[in-house]
Structure formats: C-alpha cells, structure tokens
Chains A and B, each alone.
Chain A
C-alpha cells in the first residue's frame, strides 16, 4: 500500500513554505488535468504520462535542494519541469508540438530540457536517466561545484540492469547524486509485487552500501524532511542516497490506459484519504489560519496560468518546415566549450 510508511510526526512547514508547496502542487495538478483534456481534444499527440497524484514528491524534494542542483527523470516528467521553474507555456507548447515549446516542438512530452533551469530531461527509455544523472553528478564532483543531482525513476525502472551498474559506480566514486524511486505501485499495468523480488526499494542499494529509506510520498512534509537528509549526505561527499517515495498515480500509465489492473475503489481511497494537496489545504485552513477566500485566490491564479499556457500552446504555430533539418549536429569546429 502506498503510504504504508507513515512518518510519525514530520516537522511542520512554515506558513510560507506550506502555501508555496500547495501552490506548486496545485499548478502541477491543474496543468496535468488540462494536458489530459487537451489530449482528449487531439491537441496533444503520441504518449502523454500524467503526474496527477505524485505531486508531493517533486515539490518536497525541490524544497530540499538549492540553486544549481540538477534534476533528471524519465517520461512522466511534466511535474519535474514545472517544479524547476520552467515556463508552463513552453512545456504545454511542447506537448502540442509547437515552435514555442521547450524543444521547439521536436521532443514532445517525454523529451524536454532546460539547461538554464538545470533540468536534464525527460528521457523516454526506461532507466536511461539513471546513469546519465550519475554522469551529471560525476561532472559536479569533477568541477567541484557543490551541486547535487536528483535522479528520479520509477518502481518499473528500478528493475533495469543499468540502475545497478550506476549504483555501483556512484558509491565507488562517491558521486553527489540522490536516487529517488517514485514507487507508484504499478509499472505500466504490472503491480510491484508481480515484478519485483524485493519490493522494499530502499534496500535496492544494500549490496553497494548505499543508504536508503522509505518515505511517505503523499506527505509533502515527510518528503522534504527525508530529502534534506539525503541531499546533505550527497553534498557532504558521502556519496549517493536512495529514497523510495511511496506514492500513487491517480490516472492511467498513459492516456490510453484502460486501468484494468486495479479497482476504482483503490484509486478513490487514495484520492480521498491520502491526497497531498488536500492535506496541505487542510493544514493551511487549520493550523496556518488561512481563509477559504485566500485559497480561492491561489486556485484562481493557478487556473489563469494554466489557461494561458493552454491558450499559448493552442495558437502558437507549428515549427517551420525548415526545422526538420536543424539541431541534428553542430559544426565540428564550433567554439570550444
């Protein structure tokens, strides 16, 4: 069960932290709902994997990092981009395959990057982001820049061989990387227990001496607390750290998922009892003393941002046909990096 792990009493967030976390989680949720709707209208093509339900993971982890730290993930990547401060217009326009998209319409949902915001993709091959993320951490150590790379992957990717090749090198070379396993209980349609001999993913680094812990990924406070511990470990030169985030996706694996592998009750139970956004909302209204009206203003602001992104992504032109041939290779004798 996701949220099997309950952090007994995670330290409370300040009113400002809680409000900001709520705002970003809500931005991701509303953005994803809009993306789902636009997919339904045929404006978004191909594969589209929504992050709805898992928002607390990236938002809590981001709160545990600092400027200059990098993020890399797999194909369920919209939330990771928004949390890094990438422009929702540019992300949505990439989903619709338009010229104003982050990859100028050539990458799509699974392939977006922002060197400025330190987001390194967006990778469509399950597990490939893990060694690449360790490579970014290798560069951090090589350049001694003090940055930590967060490498996100799912319970499905956790069974790829290259993950363990990476664990070995990352610990061997004490690379500043935090491996975040987003265990949303299903690798596409296969439940964790049907695919994994060891379902406690925090133990997947045991034979490499990488410390790990299970975290209630539906509680932003627990995520942030564990994230701070892991990031500090990596930044101090102690090597990698594994965080298994027990989370849940409410939607299908992708838009074309018939969801025959789980019951509606299971989904409904998670949504009503464990939703991270609802929990944050209740704390804001309760212990932080915000009013319904104040939260409605936040909601309205988020809806405006998302609608503007959708509007931009709908009316922005497709890439110019000449873009077909650009960005394949760079001039070999270009400026030296």
Chain B
C-alpha cells in the first residue's frame, strides 16, 4: 500500500520533494519534506489524483532556528496519513494556505496562526481562534514571555 503511493509520488515529483525510504515508514505515516513553492502542486495532486480527501490536522513546531509547519492528510480507503512538512523562516515566515483545497484546514490554520504566529497566504479568514483578538504575542513560540493580564478593577468601570 505504501509502496504504491510512494511510487506514484516519485513518478510525478521526482527530485522535487523529499520522500522517505520504504523501510523507514513507521505506522503508516509518510513524511514529505517540501519546498514551499511546490506545496500547492503536491497538495492538489494528493487530493485529486490520489484520493487524499480528508484533512486531518495542521500544526506547527517552533525549533528555535526555524519554524516547521505540517499538514496531516488522510484517505478514506487507506490508513495512511500523508504529512506535508514545510520549513519556513521563524520570524517573518509566510506559507501558502491549504484551506482553498481542503476546507477543513480553516480552523487548524487559524489556530496555528493564533498560537505560533505562522502567517498563511490566501487564507480566507485569518483571525485568532482561541485567544482574544487583542492578545499580544503567540504563546507557543519558544521566546514568548507570559505577562499577567491586567484585570480592570471595579472602580475602573
């Protein structure tokens, strides 16, 4: 099952994306290391040619020197999860949004923006999701310093 999928991807995107060797694939997760400029092509191919129609989740990890954004995509017929991984600049990194392709990535990308500060281009509605609109900073970044919120006293009302 994984070998077929890898073969298809190799045939289409050889030399462009980083694919794992078959013996390194554990627990049906295929990690694809991508250059941001190929992201949309690979995502469209996965959805329309390979049947990866279920957006599973989008998340980011702050590695102090770089920011890694990953999208997990599922398939209703296989247990395989495709993991699209993109490394971007940690501070001003911008990455293409996959919400136009999989509608279900909408809130996941909003959350990644909210907690990690990753900006998604062409996202239809990139607002904070979990934190209030006036929150400063992105709490899951490694350099985030927690400041106690200033509560209004009763006499301020």
Chain B associates with chain A: no
Q: Which residues of B approach A to under 8 Å, CB–CB?
A: none
